[in-house]
Structure 1
Amino acid sequence: MKFHLETERLLLRELRATDLEGMFALDSNPSVHKYLGNKPINTREEAQRRIQFVKEQYIENGIGRFAAIEKSSGNFIGWSGLKLNKGEKESLNGFQDFIDIGYRFIPKYWRKGYGLESAIACLEYGFNTLNLDIIYGAAETGNIGSNKILQSIGLQFVNKFEEHNEQVNWYELKKVNYGK
Structure 2
Amino acid sequence: MRYAQGGGLTDAERAVRERIRLQAVVRFEAGETNREVAAALRVSERSVERWRRAWRERGEAGVLSQGSPGRSRLSETQIARLDRELERGSLVHCWADQRWTLARIQTLIGRIFHVSYTVEGTWCLLKRHGWSRQQPARRVIERDDDAVEVWRKETWPWVRGPRRSAVPGSSSRTRPGSR
Smaller-chain TM-score bracket: under 0.3
TM-score (normalised: structure 1): 0.22
Going by fraction, where is strand more abundant, 1 or 2?
1
User: Which structure is richer in relative contact order (CA contacts within 8 A, separation 6 or more)?
Assistant: 1
TM-score (normalised: structure 2): 0.22
Instruction: Answer with 1 or 2: which has the greater Rg.
Output: 2
